A and B are shown apart, each in its own frame.
Chain A
Amino acid sequence: QSALTQPASVSGSPGQSITISCTGTSSDVGGYDYVSWYQQFPGKAPKLMIYDVSNRPSGVSSRFSGSKSGNTASLTISGLQAEDEADYYCSFTSSDTRVVFGGGTKLTVL
């Protein structure tokens, strides 16, 4: 299974909204809703931010939202804050219980 495609980097100014895309195929992202998003700070373990395309775990800020259109899932961060600067990864779990991650996106808050 091929890795999901994410932009290497995105940037935005405080208060703005940014969107990170995660592109797969009709066999994975486009066909099922098992897409998750993770936030990772340097030297730290990842943190689950979104599961099942658009659901937030308890404790995750409502500024983070997920969606999907066709073969592309998206993570949107609204009201961008300096503390959001991190790496973000999407993942997909297949029907045969294998997981593939996207290559990761570095978010820079200008």
Chain B
Amino acid sequence: EVQLLESGGGLVQPGGSLRLSCAASGFTFSGYAMSWVRQAPGKGLEWVSAIGGSDGRTYYADSLRGRFTISRDNSKNTVYLQMNSLGAEDTAIYYCATDGPSRKLDFEHWGQGTLVTVSS
């Protein structure tokens, strides 16, 4: 059974940083691209970033303006999201998700999400 467990969320002040982690199990982690998708309270889904499985190529939403960095450690079956210069607009539930059957970032498996709140 595929399991994704996010951690690292919490309350952070504006301008601060946070590192999210997503521990994966139940599948061949290195064989799949992984993504982060966020959802602001009461709002829709927003794709944040993705990283290739074996090649580690990274992709980002243009709206992030270079503030976030995605990485992965295939030896630990974990994907990370380093978030810097956080603002109120980054307040959201952050989900990690696996690539799906099409291997074109159709997100087949999702974690339960971790809440990031940016507030003073």
A interface list, Cβ under 8 A from B? 1, 34, 36, 38, 40, 45-48, 51-52, 55, 57, 89, 91, 93, 96-104
Contact = CB atoms under 8 A, between A and B. Distances in A.
Nearest to A40: B45
B113 A45 contact: yes
Interface stretch (B9-17, B80-88, B98-106): B98-106
A89 B61 contact: no
Interface of B: 35, 37, 44-47, 50, 57, 59, 61-62, 95, 100-102, 104-108, 110-113
Given A1-B62, A45-B95, A52 B44 contact: no
B94 to A, nearest CB: 11
A91 B99 CA distance: 13
B45 A38 contact: yes
Nearest to A105: B44
A44 to B, nearest CB: 8
Contacts of A98: 47, 59, 61-62
Given A89-B44, A98-B59, A101-B46, A57 B108 contact: yes
A98 B64 CA distance: 13
A103 B61 CA distance: 16
B40 to A, nearest CB: 12
The DSSP consensus for interface residues of chain A is strand
B59 A97 contact: yes
B97 to A, nearest CB: 8
B26 to A, nearest CB: 15
B105 A99 contact: yes
A5 B59 CA distance: 23
B61 A46 contact: no
A46 B110 contact: yes
Given A48-B108, A57-B108, A97-B105, 17 more contacts: A36-B100, A36-B106, A36-B107, A45-B95, A45-B110, A46-B107, A51-B101, A51-B102, A51-B106, A52-B101, A55-B101, A57-B101, A91-B45, A97-B50, A97-B59, A99-B105, A104-B44
